[in-house]
């Protein structure tokens, strides 16, 4: 995305990308803390996550505005335009990761309030494991975004299948609880939502990874040198043909 | 002048060679290294293997491209890439340059414009031109527009001439602004109005093609917008070839865009494709402002 004659244009694009990485850091941190609050029974911490979720949204808005400004001022075309719109898409995915953190925090508060009639503690390990996989995917996807590493991004996207498998495994187990005791129904549904939120974080990471190739300048579009034409003499006409 | 236009013409072989032409449109196979859609259906003008030399300098090399009817084609590229040189081949303006020599074939409605029997003045009535700097003749607004029809003998009666002047000024979007002062000198108008007057002058002789060499580079953004709007309207009746340094302008006004680089026509295609998915790296680097 660099290499423009107008170097401040490169600077604008770099700032935009840095902002997205900053937003990514915040979103990852939010999910991490939300899972911690759940496992530790820390409702105060969970409240804090909910309160802070507006920060991620604000980041998204600011990036949106920056993109609008960049388009208005620089009129990007071709690969630049595609790259800038892709950065916007990545920001949207990160906003949704932030939303997942808020959802996990809210569900955690509700589940803690439900007391002993809930089997969700059995799923701490699943939650921990899924959040570890999902967040490492987001981190790696952002790393690939930063380095415009198309191959790495493809590998990140493939890891989403593992996360989906974990989710379905946990789901089957949860079903058995409900079948044993219907009092668990409500908290089981909440646990499903919680696991689903983590599974969605993986989807967002996969979407970010899938966007990386659109950042890459298409180096392979055509031969690098201008078409080689036979050297001409000033005598001209007989040489043409 | 050392040579005439007729003597410059070197007579290329009439049959075109089929080769590795990269184009998808109907039309004959042509031998070119240009990427994209070189030919169009039912073109008004065609250029085949056009070369221009200014003395020893080889200004453009083997340029082959069609000019479609009722469409605007924009010629873009860095300074010295040959886009204006190519434009000037289309109405034999290069004839007026002493040491210029043109080879290849350029046709208008299928007829070679460099044929010895082709009269250059007649040709320039059919392929009109609008220049970078508005250049109204030192005469009244009316006479500026009436000049061409008069010398071409298009109107014998005053009423007919009045009609041509009014129609031309209306088509150029200038009539309402000058109807009360047709006798004022053309140079009394603003820059944008002068340029529209030049467009009216060009269309007064009922051309088929209008060539525009950076027609807005001396105008402010509002006057530029007016001209761009006018170009879009004019395309209903004419084929327009526009050279522009302003890539946004090329994107806005044209249906096809041709990218020139150091005398080669690198790529030509639908404007939207050129500005979203150029096929050649040089095109991409130029339009994204990365040259180098």
Q: What is the pLDDT of residues A156-212, one digit of tens each?
A: 999 999 999 999 999 998 888 888 888 778 888 888 999 999 999 999 999 999 999
B56, B278, B290, B292, best to mutate vs chain A, most A CBs in 10 Å: B290
**B122 min Cα distance to partner chain A (Å):** 26
Q: What is the pLDDT of residue A118?
A: 59
- Dump pLDDT digits (tens) for B124-171: 999 999 999 999 999 999 999 999 999 888 888 999 999 999 999 999
pLDDT at residue number B110: 94
Residue A35 has pLDDT above 70, yes or no: yes
The per-residue pLDDT for B19 is 34
**Lowest-confidence region among A117-121, A228-232, B35-39:** A228-232
Distances in whole angstroms, Cα of residue B204 to Cα of each of B87, B167, B169, B171? 21, 8, 8, 10
Q: Which domains does chain B have, with CATH numbers?
A: 5-287 (3.40.50.300)
Which residues are within 8 A (CB) of A29 and not within 5 positions of it... i.e. 6 or more apart?
none
With a cut of 50, which residues of chain B have pLDDT below it?
Answer: 1-26
At residue A237, does pLDDT exceed 60?
no
Confidence of residue A222 (pLDDT cuts 50, 70, 90): very low
| Number of other CB atoms surrounding residue A161 within 10 Å | 11
For B240, residues 6+ apart whose C-beta sits below 8 A from its C-beta are: B71, B72, B73, B209, B210, B211, B212, B231, B234
Q: How far is A69 from chain B (nearest CA, A)?
A: 17
Q: Does residue B279 or residue A218 have the better pLDDT?
A: B279
| ipTM of the prediction | 0.70
Q: What are phi and psi of B140, to 5 degrees?
A: -70, 165
Question: What is the residue-averaged pLDDT of chain A?
Answer: 86
A1 to chain B, minimum CA–CA distance in Å?
Answer: 10
Confidence label for A7 from pLDDT (cuts 50, 70 and 90): confident
- CATH class of residue range A7-218: mainly alpha
Residue the block writes with tokens 């002068």: B194
Alpha carbon of residue B8 to chain centroid: 21
Place of tokens 């089929």: B18
CA pair distance A64, A203, nearest whole angstrom: 22
pLDDT for A217 beyond 50 = yes
Q: Are A223 and B56 an interchain contact pair (Cβ–Cβ within 8 Å)?
A: no
Pairing of strands B45-54, B100-108: antiparallel
CA distance B210 to B216: 15
Q: Count of alpha carbons within 13 Å of A143, Cβ hemisphere only?
A: 13
- Residue B3 structure tokens: 């040579």
Instruction: For residue A219, name the pLDDT band (cuts at 50, 70, 90).
Output: low
Chain B residues near residue A76 by CB distance under 8 angstroms: 288
* Burial category of B154 from C-beta neighbours within 10 Å (exposed 0-12, middle 13-18, buried 19 and up): middle
Q: What is the pLDDT of residue B290?
A: 87
Choose the closest CB to B103 out of A77, A222, A240. A240
Please tell me the predicted confidence (pLDDT) of residue A117.
55
Closest alpha carbon to B92 in B75, B79, B104: B104
Q: Compute the nearest-CA separation of B133 from chain A (Å).
A: 26
Residue numbers in B near A224 (CB within 8 A)? 281
Structure tokens at B223: 């006057």
Chain B residues in contact with A232 by the CB 8 A cut-off are: 51, 58, 61
Q: Where is pLDDT greater, at B34 or A29? A: A29
Q: Do B288 and A226 touch (CB under 8 A)?
A: no
Strands ordered across the beta sheet of B45-54: B57-67, B45-54, B100-108, B111-112
| Residues of A with Cβ-Cβ distance to B38 under 8 angstroms | none
Q: Return the pLDDT at B270.
A: 95
Beta sheet of B239-243, edge-to-edge order: B35-36, B264-270, B256-261, B72-76, B239-243, B209-213, B127-130
SS3 B75: strand
CA distance B193 to B136: 10
Q: Give the Cα separation of B56 and B37 in Å (integer).
A: 31
CA distance A167 to chain B (A): 40
The A-side interface with B (CB below 8 A) comprises 3-6, 9, 75-82, 217-219, 221-224, 226-227, 229, 232, 234, 236-237, 240-241
Residues of B in contact with A81 (CB under 8 A): 276
Q: How far is A213 from chain B (nearest CA, A)?
A: 15
Q: What is the pTM of this model?
A: 0.79
Per the CB < 8 Å rule, is B247 touching A234? Answer: no
The residues, any chain, with a CB within 8 Å of residue A44's CB and separated by 6 or more, are none
Q: Which run of H or E residues covers position B60?
A: strand B57-67
Q: Residue A115: its pLDDT value, please? A: 67
Residue of A nearest to B55 (CA): A234
pLDDT at B107: 96
For chain A, the domains span 7-218
pLDDT, tens digit (0-9, with 9 covering 90-100), for B251-274:
999 999 999 999 999 999 999 999
Residue A123 — very low, low, confident or very high, per pLDDT cuts 50/70/90?
Answer: confident
Residues of A in contact with B51 (CB under 8 A): 232, 236, 240
Nearest to A236 among B53, B280, B291 (CB): B53
Contact assignment for B277 to A4 by CB distance below 8 Å: no
């Amino acid at each position: 995305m660099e290499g423009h004659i107008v170097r401040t244009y490169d600077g604008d694009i770099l700032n935009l990308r840095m902002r997205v990485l900053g937003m990514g850091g915040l979103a990852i941190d939010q999910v991490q803390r939300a899972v911690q609050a759940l496992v530790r029974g820390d409702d105060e911490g969970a409240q804090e996550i909910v309160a802070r979720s507006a920060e991620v949204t604000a980041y998204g808005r600011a990036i949106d505005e920056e993109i609008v400004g960049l388009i208005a001022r620089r009129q990007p075309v071709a690969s630049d335009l595609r790259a800038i719109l892709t950065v916007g898409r990545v920001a949207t995915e990160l906003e949704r990761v932030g939303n997942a953190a808020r959802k996990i925090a809210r569900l955690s508060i509700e589940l803690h309030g439900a007391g002993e009639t809930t089997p969700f503690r059995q799923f701490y390990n699943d939650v921990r494991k899924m959040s570890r996989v999902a967040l490492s995917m987001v981190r790696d996807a952002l790393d690939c975004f930063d380095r415009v590493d198309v191959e790495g991004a493809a590998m990140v996207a493939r890891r989403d299948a593992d996360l989906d498998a974990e989710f379905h495994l946990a789901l089957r187990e949860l079903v058995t609880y409900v079948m044993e005791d219907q009092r668990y129904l409500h908290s089981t549904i909440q646990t499903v939502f919680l696991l689903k939120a983590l599974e969605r974080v993986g989807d967002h990471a996969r979407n970010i990874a899938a966007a990386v190739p659109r950042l890459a300048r298409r180096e392979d579009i055509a031969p690098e040198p201008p078409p080689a034409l036979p050297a001409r003499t000033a005598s001209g006409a007989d040489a043409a043909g | 002048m050392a040579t005439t236009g007729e003597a410059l013409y070197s007579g290329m072989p009439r049959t075109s060679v089929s080769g590795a032409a990269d184009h998808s449109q109907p039309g004959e196979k042509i031998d070119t290294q240009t990427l994209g859609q070189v030919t169009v259906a039912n073109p008004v003008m065609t250029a085949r293997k056009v070369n221009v030399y200014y003395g020893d300098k080889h200004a453009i090399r083997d340029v082959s491209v069609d000019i479609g009817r009722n469409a605007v084609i924009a010629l873009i590229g860095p300074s010295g890439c040959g886009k204006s040189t190519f434009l000037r081949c289309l109405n034999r303006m290069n004839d007026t340059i002493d040491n210029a020599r043109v080879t290849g074939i350029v046709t208008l409605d299928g007829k070679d414009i460099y044929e010895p029997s082709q009269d250059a003045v007649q040709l320039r009535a059919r392929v009109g031109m609008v220049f970078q700097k508005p250049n109204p003749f030192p005469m009244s607004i009316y006479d500026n527009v009436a000049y061409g029809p008069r010398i071409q003998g298009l109107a014998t009666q005053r009423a007919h001439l009045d009609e041509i002047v009014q129609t031309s000024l209306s088509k150029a979007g200038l009539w309402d602004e000058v109807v009360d002062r047709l006798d004022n000198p053309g140079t009394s108008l603003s820059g944008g109005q002068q340029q529209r007057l030049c467009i009216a002058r060009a269309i007064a002789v009922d051309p088929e093609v209008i060539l525009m060499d950076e027609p807005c580079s001396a105008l402010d953004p509002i006057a530029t917008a007016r001209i761009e709007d006018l170009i879009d309207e004019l395309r209903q009746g004419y084929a327009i070839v526009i050279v522009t340094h302003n890539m946004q302008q090329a994107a806005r006004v044209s249906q096809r865009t041709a990218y020139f680089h150091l005398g080669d026509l690198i790529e030509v295609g639908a404007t939207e494709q050129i500005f979203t998915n150029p096929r050649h790296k040089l095109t991409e680097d130029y339009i994204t402002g990365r040259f180098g």
